[in-house]
Amino acid sequence: MDKGYFKSDTYVTSEDSLGSWRKIYRHNRLYFTLKFINIIFRTRREARKGIYDDKAWEESSFYIFRFIEKSGGRFNISGMSNISVTEEPVLFIANHMSTLETMILPCIISPLRKVTFVVKENLVSHPLFGDVMKSRDPIIVGRTDPRKDLEAVMNGGMELLSRGISIVIFPQSTRNIIFNPSEFNSLGVKLAKKAGVKVVPVALKTDFWGNGKVVKELGPLDSMKTICFRFGEAFDVKGSGKDENQKIIDFIQSSLLEWQEKDSRK
């Protein structure tokens, strides 16, 4: 890895990254909320002006990354060399736990390859996040009609991949701190097979940032929980894709079990 914000395969938050004021910031939800609202309104203005490009997306994502650390968040990111293992576009298929991964994945992936997301329709119509998400040219699904979602992902995905744009897809119907394999559909695997592109499995543990009761994106913080991202080795989809989808599920489950055991020992 020779570009982007992370210069090696792994990144672990250091004490220096947490800052000298970490004892004040830690568990300080007000500090975190004010910083987050500030960046959301700034990026929203930029998107409405048509100046929120890939570079601005990466920079705002990394800005969020840094103030999460200042708020007591500790990152453990591994397997980043797998992001750019091939020059061809890929499908990043991941579990979905919180708002955090949507905000942080751009500063990890986008400097290494052009990427966008599969997102729910209510996100692109959201009064705060809608303009930013629409500027990213995402694939939009409703999550109410599986047949229409399949059509949207297949048609939109083929078009984006043909232009060299990689895609992040969360096969779960909604974000959840509990990973339920039965909710992990095979949309991503089906698209990868049809397009003939590789899959990069991604395991995420982002329960540091909980869901809010009033505003879902402004939930409580728990600095006792490490934020973990793990990118697996890229692979091709063969046959029906059933085995490959199970491979992704196994990768996510084993990673979550390992991380949760580490957190429980703190």
Q: What angle (nearest 5°) sits at the alpha carbon of residue 228, between those of residues 8 and 82?
A: 40
Q: Per this entry, what is the length of the chain?
A: 266
- Among 3-17, 51-65, 180-194, 246-260, whose mean pLDDT is lowest? 3-17
pLDDT tens for each residue of 141-154: 987 788 888 899 99
Closest by CA position to 122, among listed 146, 103, 143:
143
Predicted TM-score (pTM) of the model is 0.92
Structure tokens at 223: 């600095």
Which secondary structure element, helix H or strand E, spans residue 155, and what is its range?
A: helix 146-162
C-alpha 1/C-alpha 85 separation (Å) is 10
Residue 244 pLDDT exceeds 70: yes
Structure tokens at 90: 């890929």
- Among 42-46, 53-57, 163-167, 262-266, whose mean pLDDT is lowest? 262-266
Phi, psi of 93 (to 5 degrees): -115, 120
Structure tokens at 7: 């210069």
Closest by CA position to 150, among listed 118, 103, 197, 109:
118
Single-letter residue type at 149: D
pLDDT given for residue 78 in this prediction: 97
pLDDT given for residue 219 in this prediction: 73
Q: Which domains does the chain have, with CATH numbers?
A: 11-264 (3.40.1130)
- Please compute the mean of the pLDDT values over residues 44-57 and round it to a whole number: 96
Closest by CA position to 253, among listed 187, 245, 237:
245
- HSE at residue 104, side-chain half, CA atoms within 13 A, is 26
pLDDT given for residue 265 in this prediction: 73
In percent, the amount of the chain with pLDDT more than 90 equals: 65
